[in-house]
């Protein structure tokens, strides 16, 4: 028995090619793509614009398959909801997705992998290890499912959930083309941000792909670097892959990205009290912010339910007092120092921290930690 392809993984041009093999007209591709990506069709029978004979042909060769079921956890303190999805192609694989609603914005934080193989010391997802790359359709379907189950209109998407987007690069790029397609969700590229810890060659490639002919609709997709330290030694101790992807090399590629795309870069900076908030850290962050147009998002460190290793082990005692950790005066001092140096800096709220939905907390309800 032949395995049917998941048609939700195909962009319109690929659907056109498949239709040609079936002896069908290419214009049907836009109808099929729109039915799945704009209207949430779950089966070919739902696509009533198609002739019955074509629906049968498609059913024989393809399937529309993404998630089997989901569980929603809502925050009592924040307007945040977390979704636990079970993949249809492998029910043993689950992922988490987050919806953050604030100030008229509905932002979906999507996952790109089940688990993660970067292994950041401060991230619960990294402790799960790598399980599977998500397909382009599975990345997009998180957005569609959140919209379907909540009824809210999605205004923004951030690739900051489980996994490292640039280690699933092809599917991430393809999903961007899908989400911005005029026949699909048609979300403007400027409302999408892709986050990465940084890999040599990948940031440059991303810039080239965003500006390639035919990719105009994703040309202003934003890039965020998970920085967390401007000190190579410290960064290498908390982000294992940074040993092979050192900051000077990443800075060169970020400069290339800005010059090629014209898009401002965001640096994500989790505040580790007493570890990455010294005067030298402020000086280096100030110098970095003047390199290219950018902003720095300061993120409070969130408890993640396991003991940290050096050099973050001094934070272990803070787990017992979450309120104290999140309101640490050193956090305010760091932000004030940066603002005094004319750095564009923002404090990221801890939305969903009470349901383990904040930065670094996604771990399938603590599985295997």
Nearest to 322 by CA among 304, 346, 335: 304
Q: Is the pLDDT at 191 greater than 60, yes or no?
A: yes
Residue 272 covered by a domain: yes
Q: Which of 16, 24, 96, 145 is catalytic?
A: 96
User: What kind and span of H or E run contains 336?
Assistant: helix 329-340
Residue 318 covered by a domain: yes
17 and 138 belong to one structural domain: no
Dump strand ranges (E) for 160-285: 192-196, 222-226, 265-271
User: What kind and span of H or E run contains 298?
Assistant: strand 294-300
59 and 71 belong to one structural domain: no
Residue 361 covered by a domain: no
351-368: pLDDT as tens digits: 655 555 556 555 555 454
Instruction: Note whether 238 and 122 are within 8 A (CB).
Output: yes
24 and 111 belong to one structural domain: no
367 noted as active-site residue: no
228 and 301 belong to one structural domain: yes
Number of domains in the chain: 2
What CATH number does residue 23 fall under? 1.10.150.530
Residue 329 covered by a domain: yes
103-138: pLDDT as tens digits: 889 999 999 999 999 988 888 787 788 999 999 999
Which of 168-177, 266-275, 310-319 ranks highest by mean pLDDT?
168-177
**What is the per-residue pLDDT for 369?**
41
Q: What are phi and psi of 8, to 5 degrees?
A: -75, -10
What CATH number does residue 92 fall under? 3.20.20.70
Q: Which of 116, 120, 140, 359 is catalytic?
A: 359
**What is the per-residue pLDDT for 57?**
95
Tell how strand 130-133 and strand 156-159 pair up: unpaired
Model confidence at 316, pLDDT cuts 50, 70, 90, reads: confident
147 and 241 belong to one structural domain: yes
45 and 90 belong to one structural domain: no
Q: Is the pLDDT at 229 greater than 80, yes or no?
A: yes
- If DSSP codes are grouped into helix, strand and coil, which group holds residue 121? coil
Dump strand ranges (E) for 253-369: 265-271, 294-300, 345-347
Residue 140 covered by a domain: yes
In the chain, pLDDT over 90 holds for what percent of residues? 73
255 and 211 belong to one structural domain: yes
Model confidence at 154, pLDDT cuts 50, 70, 90, reads: very high
pTM of the model: 0.92
Q: Report how far residue 358's alpha carbon sits from residue 339's, in angstroms, rounded to the nearest whole number.
A: 25
Q: Report how far residue 143's alpha carbon sits from residue 137's, in angstroms, rounded to the nearest whole number.
A: 10
Q: Report how far residue 219's alpha carbon sits from residue 120's, in angstroms, rounded to the nearest whole number.
A: 29
59 and 80 belong to one structural domain: no
105 and 210 belong to one structural domain: yes
And the tokens for 194? 């892709």
The boundaries of the domain holding residue 20 are 5-63
83 and 52 belong to one structural domain: no
- If DSSP codes are grouped into helix, strand and coil, which group holds residue 189? helix
34 and 80 belong to one structural domain: no
51-64: pLDDT as tens digits: 999 999 999 999 99
75 and 127 belong to one structural domain: yes
Instruction: Note whether 250 and 225 are within 8 A (CB).
Output: yes
Q: Report how far residue 229's alpha carbon sits from residue 238's, in angstroms, rounded to the nearest whole number.
A: 9
Burial class for 367, CB neighbours closer than 10 Å (0-12, 13-18, 19+): exposed
Q: What is the mean pLDDT of residues 85-90?
A: 91
Q: Report how far residue 180's alpha carbon sits from residue 158's, in angstroms, rounded to the nearest whole number.
A: 13
120 noted as active-site residue: no
**What is the per-residue pLDDT for 366?**
46
Instruction: Note whether 32 and 47 are within 8 A (CB).
Output: yes
22-78: pLDDT as tens digits: 999 999 999 999 999 999 999 999 999 999 999 999 999 999 988 887 888 888 788
Considering just the CA atoms, what is the radius of gyration of the chain in Å?
A: 21
């Amino acid at each position: 028995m032949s395995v049917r392809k998941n048609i939700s993984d195909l962009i319109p041009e690929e659907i056109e090619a498949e239709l040609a093999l079936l002896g069908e007209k290419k214009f049907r591709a836009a109808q099929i793509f729109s039915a799945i990506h704009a209207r949430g069709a779950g089966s070919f029978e739902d696509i009533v614009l198609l002739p019955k004979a074509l629906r049968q042909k498609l059913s024989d060769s393809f399937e529309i398959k993404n998630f089997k079921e989901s569980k929603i956890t809502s925050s009592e303190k924040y307007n945040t909801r977390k979704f636990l999805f079970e993949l249809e192609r492998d029910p043993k694989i689950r992922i988490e997705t987050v919806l953050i609603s604030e100030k008229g914005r509905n932002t979906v934080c999507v996952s790109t992998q089940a688990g993660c193989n970067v292994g950041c010391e401060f991230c619960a997802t990294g402790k799960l290890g790598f399980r599977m790359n998500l397909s382009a359709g599975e990345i997009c379907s998180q957005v569609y499912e959140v919209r379907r189950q909540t009824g809210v209109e999605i205004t923004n998407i951030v690739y900051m959930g489980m996994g490292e987007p640039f280690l699933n690069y092809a599917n991430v790029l393809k999903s961007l083309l899908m989400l911005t397609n005029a026949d699909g969700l048609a979300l403007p590229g400027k409302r999408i941000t892709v986050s990465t810890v940084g890999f040599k060659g990948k940031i440059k490639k991303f810039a080239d792909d965003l500006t390639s002919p035919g990719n105009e609709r994703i040309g202003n997709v934003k890039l965020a670097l998970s920085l967390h330290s401007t000190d190579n030694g410290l960064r290498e101790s908390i982000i294992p892959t940074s040993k092979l992807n050192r900051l000077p090399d990443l800075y060169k590629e970020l400069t290339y990205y800005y010059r090629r795309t014209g898009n401002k870069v965001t640096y994500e900076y989790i505040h580790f009290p007493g570890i990455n908030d010294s005067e030298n850290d402020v000086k280096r962050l100030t110098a970095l912010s003047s390199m290219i147009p950018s902003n720095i998002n300061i993120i409070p460190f969130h408890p993640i339910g396991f003991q940290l290793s050096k050099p973050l082990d001094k934070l272990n005692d803070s787990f017992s007092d979450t309120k104290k950790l999140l309101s640490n005066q050193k956090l305010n001092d760091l932000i004030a120092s940066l603002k005094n140096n004319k750095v564009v800096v923002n404090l990221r709220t801890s939305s969903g921290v009470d349901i383990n939905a904040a930065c670094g907390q996604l771990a399938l309800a603590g599985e295997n930690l």
